Chains A and B, each alone.
Chain A
Amino acid sequence: IPSVSSIVPESCLLIVVGLLVGGLIKGVGEKPPILKSDIFFLFLLPPIILDAGYFLPLRPFTENLGTILIFAVVGTLWNAFFLGGLMYAVCQLGGPGLNHIGLLANLLFGSIISAVDPVAVLAVFEEIHINELLHILVFGESLLNDAVTVVLYHLFEEFASFEQVTILDIILGFLSFFVVSLGGVLVGVIYGVIAAFTSRFTSHIRVIEPLFVFLYSYMAYLSAELFHLSGIMALIAAGVVMRPYVEANISHKSHTTIKYFLKMWSSVSETLIFIFLGVSTVAGHHYWNWTFVISTLFFCLIARVLGVLVLTWFINKFRIVKLTPKDQFIIAYGGLRGAIAFSLGYLLDYQHFGMRDMFLTAIITVIFFTVFVQGMTIRPLVDLLAVKKKQETKRSINEEIHTQFLDHLLTGIEDICGHYGHHHWKDKLNRFNKKYVKKCLIAGERSKEPQLIAFYHKMEMKQAIELVESGGIGKIPSAVSTVSIQNINPQTLPLERVLPALSKDKEEEIRKILRTNLQKTRQRLRSYNRHTLVADPYEEAWNQMLLRRQKARQLEQKMNNYLTVPAHRVDSPTMSRARIGSDPLAYEPKEDSENLPIITIDPASPQSPESVELMSEEPKGCSGLPPSPEEDEEGLVMRVKEPSSPGTDDVFTPGNSDSPSNQRMLRCLSDPGPRPEPEEGEPFIPKGQ
């Protein structure tokens, strides 16, 4: 039995909740609140748009920009005029109730209802996991048509109060479109650059870094709205422009904060919007006119389908990857209307538009129809038509190398052909960016960091964090492979120091993360008692060194396994000495090395982290060679080997301190070395002391 949420998209459920709440409030006798346009445009809409703009997948967006723009601009214009014109005809023929509605009012109505709504599209498309191309086409269209909607809305609203509309007015109106859209983008870009510049200096006040992102974006939105420019485009432009520079400057925690705050805010906004839509439906004054409403609905659908068909036919002449009829169907079907249309309708004032209630009723009906009917049926239709779904690909370093290589190759070919195409300009922009812009907007060393290196660092960080998160449970990440540097470059000496591409502080960061985990790793010392150890002058140093060795080996083992590049060996002097061996006798691989007692560490045992219990450890002939592959597979949990000599399962069982194996062990690891560095060694705190 499929659950409700798999059939009904979340937006529908929320509207139903809103309806219930509104009904409840009305039933009690109170007046339910209506979604005021102020609240909607100032508080509820920006977070959603910022979230969309900041995390906009730039590559598919710019690759399909032409298509998106044509759908957004020409498509919306077509919808508005087609619908407006037809509704005017309907009004003229519709009898006394509708005759008084003029052409301009109808055109205004058309412009309100024709815009595809980003909120509704997001809400529905998020759940159906459609392929990237279609998603970006419909979503991009819903974002960019705001400029058209704003222009048309204000235009017709103005014109409705004019006595006469001249050609000059129309031309000015046409020009104002460019002003509104380009002006909005310009405002966004300016604020984006300011935000990026500010983030350059925030290295000492990391805590408020996210604030700058939110603040500047919101200011961009408000500034644009202030001048009647397109606020949505400003917001998108700001987010897109600031993101690469801000992300290079801010700390990892700030990045996480921004991500989660944006997701949280946009979720809350979206929920509130749909609930309010439901409540407003119950609360509003409705004027139901069968002819008007039904014909609106009908013509909306027809306009959308026709528009998509004609435009796709035109666009396919210029596209390399043509849009198939299946794609066209999804694009047409995905043209959902939502709360923006409602709020714009709500903004109309009664004086000029007496039929506002009727408009609102029609708008709400269309919204309900698109969200409920189209929203619910799109998922089974996607499955039925076998539309390509989104592929979950993990970004890999190989892919990055190949993509960059391909970019350069295509740019080169274009240069050879003498054709200044897509790649040529993109390359020029990248070079300009690298040479001038990055230097201004990114702090310190990172301004010179090439993209490949930055990507590589990001991946390493991600893997280190993944490792830390999974390490505590002892689970191995599924992506781990046993391929190590040995497999691809057999000439590499095991002791060869391969410097990673990490800078000093990145290395430190990764190592700190791993170390903190190691410190927290639960290790038990079973029946260890300080007093049972041989009163050995090297005793304390041995314990420290033992611990250090074990940690260092764990660290290195993990880094070998889970990072794709072997980190450089933890080269404490003790280690190197232990490895190379000042005592040649002790470091000969013994034939009966299996007889040596072995100590394993059980990280999962529930003891306090301070106390360390060593169960057994495999000395491996004390030579410190890289761990064997079988051990590698098990990750953190080292094997408990069968103790070869009976009764000596611990080095530290009381009374066994003088056993030959113990002596051998002590001799083996007897070189204490100098005082350990404070970060590597850890004071060995025995249980119960």
Chain B
Amino acid sequence: MSSFITELTAPNGYNVTVNTGLFINNEFVAGAHTIETVNPSTGEVITSVQAAEAEQVDLAVEAAHKAFYGGWKTTNARERAHLMHKLADLVQRDGEDIAHLETMDNGKPLRDSRNFDITGVVGQLRYFAGFCDKLHGKVIETEGKLSYTVHEPIGVCAGIIPWNVPIAMLAWKIAPALATGNTIVIKSSEVTPLSALKMAELIKEAGFPPGVVNIITGYGNKAGEALSRHMKVSKVAFTGSTATGRAIMKAAAETNLKKVTLELGGKSPNIIFDDVENLDEAVFWSRMGIYWNAGQMCSAGSRIYVQEGIYDQFIEKFKAMALSGKIGNPFDEDTFQGPQVSEIQFKRVMDYIELGKKEGATCYIGGKRSGSQGYFIEPTMFTDVKPDMRIMKEEIFGPVVAISKFKDVDDVVAQANDTTYGLAASVFTSNIKRAITVSNALEAGSVWVNCYNLVSENSPFGGYKQSGIGRENGEYALSEYTQIKAIKINVGNPF
């Protein structure tokens, strides 16, 4: 093997090896430079990984291009499915390794890495494996002709993934891309490169031909930009900030008009009516909606609107629930909340907390660092907030929630929709008419009723408005990774 194999020991003593090279053409190779990746629980460097710039991006794209036209495009659908199922099997086999890497690199509790992230990856791969041989075009009745459509793969796709749910986001990109017959180059986040690199080993072991999946670490403004501008990349799928989403669309416009799908930020409203059947349940889901993953979810329910009749009760129950969660070592089984992913993110969230205080909101609980090592922030509640405060409008991406009181439904729906984002929303009520009227009115790609953040591989996920373009998961994702050709064979028409 290559010289980038690295032995790591997790804080709980678990040993895991990872190959820190760039995964191109089924080999681990050197990059242009190295990047250190830090354990956010301790602030200490875990290891260095190879990082790609334009030259290595070019190698990866060429490998993917050659693989597509060299055999992947004509590979039997059942064979693609077999490889994807094999990969899912290997992820299950090595789930502990991947989960430990994920928790070391990202800081999310080990229990969550196991039960949600690994489980989600396996589910994603198996779900889309099942679609490989079910990509249907249509036969369309037209006069004098046989007209039909074929849904073809696009070719070389690029997936640029974020640091908040690293391995899951990798699966969300490669699963539909592979099922529809594309090859792919994934650029992982330089903040959380390790789990993707373990996945790379499994991709090779599963038997994917060289070049079908390539995984490279790199900075957004170097490797990400090179991928977005590459003339042989036919589609780019991005999850991350709205600002970077814009840059990617601009890059596509200036180069080869590659197809672009974006899954961007959010400031999702969570609306709780006083006829909610069980307030404790609403509190449970609302707390999960914001504090899960230390608030680092694009779909976080970061604005909560509580109807005035139950407001005081809700605040007390929510406070109790928030304070009951243990913040600390993500390798402890009973930890609820780990650290923020990096020092930069930590500072950013702390700045927003200071801003909230300056803007005149009440910091009801939290509002400060937790502990003295690592990037931990106490779960924070702001009350007495006003709609025009920046903490009500801008995505904080941390364990900080803004809670407002409301009187009537028209007012709260207007406030909920008063945002340039549109990723998700939720409604808590026992009234069916209200549940359906309000979910119809909310301008968001996902609306949860009496729950929050329940995402699955078979239902679509994506944003309205500036939260993004396109849908991931479900049958809907297939159309993002295929292009349609209409074929019309003249069987009877004279000129």
Mutual binders A and B:
no
Residues of B whose CB lies within 8 Å of any CB of A are: none
Residues of A whose CB lies within 8 Å of any CB of B are: none
